[in-house]
Every structure is written in C-alpha cells, then in structure tokens.
C-alpha cells in the first residue's frame, strides 16, 4: 500500500468521523422545531458541550485534503464556491443562534433564534449532500482541473436527491441522539420521530443506490471487479435495521452505535466507488485521482507523521469530552 492510498483512507476516516459526530448535532437542529419550547432547552443542552468540538473533524478533514491532494481541494473550492459560501453562512448563523439564544429573556426572540438554528442546520445538511451528489455524478472540469460549470449545474435532480438522503440520514442520527439523551415524555416523542426519519433514510438509500446504477454505472466498476466489497452496502442496511430494532427495544446506546455504523457504511459505499478518483470529471481524462492530484511523496510522508501524532490527540479529546458529558441531559444543564 503506497502513501497515496494511505492518504485516501485517512481523508475517508476524517469525513466519516465528521459525518457521524457533527451529523447528530446537525440532525438535532433539523428536528428541533418539532419540540415544545421547554423541550428545545433539553435538545440544545444535549449538544451544547460537544457541537463545536465535533467541527474539529471538518477542519481536520479539510486540512488533510489540502495537504495531501491540493488540486482536489482547489477544484472543489472553485466548483462549489457559492455553495461553500452559503454553507459557511449556515454554520455561522447556527453557531450564533446557539451561543446567543439564552442571552435574551423574550420568548419571541428565543423562538427567532430557534428558527435560525433549525433552518441553518437543515441548509448545511442538504448542501453537504448536494456536494456529495455532484462528486459522484461528475463535474464539468477542464484539463487544468478548473470547474467550468455554473452554480445551477450543481442543482441537478440526482444531486438534490442525495441531498435529501443526507437530510433523512442525519435527521435520523439526531433523533437517535435525542433518544439517548432524553427521558420520559420527550423521549417517547423522539422515538416516534425516529421511525419516520428512519423510513425516509432507508427508502432513499435504496432509491439512490438503484438510480446510481442506472445513471452512473462507472461507480459500480470497483464493486463488480471485487464483489467482496458489496459487503459494505449490505452492512449499511444491516446496521440501519439493527438501529431501529434497538430503538424499539429502548436500547438507546446500541441504537446510536448502530446508526453511526450505518452512516459510516453509507459513506464508505460512496467513497470506495470513487477509488482511485477523488473528483470525477464529465470527461474522464480530466478526472482527479489520488496520483495526478497528490502532493509530492516527501509532503505526503511528512504530513503522515504529523497526522499520526495529531489524529490520536483529536480522538482522545473526543472520547474524553463524551465521557465527561455522558448520561441523560437535564434542562438546567448546558448553556
């Protein structure tokens, strides 16, 4: 296994880590408005100690992509420039609404911040999903790696469908997190939400997989060449089923573990279908892969040493923070 493949795997691990961890607090935001006013305090308090730490995985992933595959980073940022600006604003407004809400006494002002928090969370989820849909379907890239399409080219039906899948997937993860952190009447309410979002998650995963086979057969080349890889999407379905069964049995910890593993398998299914490409161009000759878009071997080697030092620190910090704030969330906790 060469350095390019190792970095392909490391970037994938960081993307999966971010999707699982920030996925549940984005998901909490997307279902937040369904809760009663007092219940919203519990929902917010459940993510308050960890949401900003979760975003370290996004920054680390972006840094890893820039260091290992700078051409991919440049093409993605030029192609998704307007979408990334919208994403940045969504994340900023989300953070502001979380931080400032309880500095006001007026219920109407707090409700306004609630709406901002929820809408910005949904926008962020859908934008992430649409971006993934475009990477899978291919971008209009020239031979220099520059994106030559328009913003509206990114809003194609396939990519929007992937965005909707991301919405249901992370909203489900958010409901499972709330199921873990709440109790009594609110927990039962969240349990009912989980069933709805799980149904959408499962149905859209199947539809997107079938549609991908019809529209983008090139993404199945790796799976047809190595049929053992089909165990990955199969595991995604198994973990989805395991998660909803654990919720029915009121086993919240097992449910969040299974839900997180299902997200990991769904993303891995898509990520492995790209290999060795990272950005597929409409003209295959212009696609960016782990070799023509990579940094020098010296850079990859140096960055690998830094990653082997830094990633365990991020992992230890993440485990420690979740250990400190484990257990049910009370209304008086958090912000």
Q: In sequence order, what are the residues at sequence separation of 6 or more whose Cβ sits closer than 8 angstroms to the Cβ of residue 119?
A: none
Given a contact cutoff of 8 angstroms between Cβ atoms, the answer to whether 193 and 34 are in contact is yes
Q: In sequence order, what are the residues at sequence separation of 6 or more whose Cβ sits closer than 8 angstroms to the Cβ of residue 153?
A: 140
pLDDT of residue 89: 94
CA atoms of 137 and 149, how far apart (whole Å): 13
Residue with tokens 């997989």: 209
Domain ranges of the chain: 3-325
Mean pLDDT of 202-228: 93
331 pLDDT above the threshold of 70: no
pLDDT of residue 179: 95
pLDDT of residue 245: 95
Q: What's the predicted TM-score (pTM) here?
A: 0.92
Number of residues written out for the chain: 335
pLDDT of residue 272: 94
pLDDT of residue 50: 85
334 pLDDT above the threshold of 60: no
pLDDT of residue 82: 85
Mean pLDDT of the chain: 90
Given a contact cutoff of 8 angstroms between Cβ atoms, the answer to whether 61 and 18 are in contact is yes
Residue with tokens 């409409």: 282
CA atoms of 252 and 237, how far apart (whole Å): 19
> How many alpha carbons lie under 13 Å from residue 167 in its C-beta half-sphere?
20
The CA-based dihedral angle spanning residues 266, 268, 270, 275, taken in that order and rounded to the nearest 10 degrees: -170
DSSP element (H, E) containing 211: helix 184-215
Least confident of 25-29, 79-83, 169-173, 209-213: 79-83
pLDDT of residue 223: 93
> pLDDT tens for residues 94-153?
999 988 888 888 888 989 999 999 999 999 999 999 999 999 988 888 888 788 888 888
Least confident of 159-163, 249-253, 298-302, 310-314: 310-314
Q: Which DSSP string do the residues of 66-87 spell out, in sequence order?
A: HHH-HHHHHHHHHHTHHHHHHH
Cis peptide before 97 (omega within 30 of 0): no
> pLDDT tens for residues 12-69?
999 999 999 988 999 999 998 998 888 898 898 889 888 888 888 888 888 888 989 9
200 pLDDT above the threshold of 90: yes
């Amino acid at each position: 296994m060469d350095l390019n493949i190792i970095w392909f795997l490391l970037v994938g691990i960081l993307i999966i880590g971010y999707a699982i961890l920030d996925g549940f607090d984005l998901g909490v935001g997307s279902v937040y408005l369904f809760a009663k006013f007092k219940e919203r305090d519990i929902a917010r308090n459940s993510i308050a100690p960890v949401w900003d730490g979760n975003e370290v995985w996004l920054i680390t992933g972006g840094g890893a992509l820039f260091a290992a595959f700078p051409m991919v980073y440049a093409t993605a940022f030029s192609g998704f420039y307007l979408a990334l600006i919208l994403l940045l604003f969504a994340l900023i407004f989300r953070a502001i609404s979380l931080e400032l809400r309880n500095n006001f006494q007026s219920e109407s002002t707090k409700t306004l911040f609630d709406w901002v928090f929820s809408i910005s969370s949904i926008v962020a989820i859908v934008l992430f999903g649409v971006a993934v849909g475009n990477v899978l379907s291919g971008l209009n890239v020239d031979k220099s790696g520059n994106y030559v399409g328009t913003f509206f080219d990114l809003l194609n039906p396939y990519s929007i469908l992937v965005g909707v899948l991301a919405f249901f997937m992370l909203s489900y993860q958010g409901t499972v997190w709330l199921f873990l952190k709440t109790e009594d009447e609110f927990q039962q309410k969240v349990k009912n939400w989980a069933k709805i979002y799980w149904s959408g998650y499962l149905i859209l995963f199947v539809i997107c997989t079938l549609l991908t086979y019809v529209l983008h057969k090139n993404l199945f080349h790796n799976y047809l060449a190595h049929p053992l890889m089909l165990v990955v999407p199969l595991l995604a379905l198994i973990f989805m089923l395991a998660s909803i069964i654990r919720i029915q049995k009121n086993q919240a910890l097992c449910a969040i573990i299974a839900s997180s593993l299902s997200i990991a398998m769904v993303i891995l299914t898509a990520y492995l279908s790209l290999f060795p490409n990272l950005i597929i161009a409409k003209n295959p000759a212009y696609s960016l892969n782990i070799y023509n878009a990579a940094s020098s071997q010296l850079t990859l080697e140096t960055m690998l040493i830094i990653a082997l030092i830094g990633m365990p620190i991020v992992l230890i910090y993440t485990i420690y923070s979740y250990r400190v704030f484990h257990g049910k969330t009370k209304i008086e906790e958090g912000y």
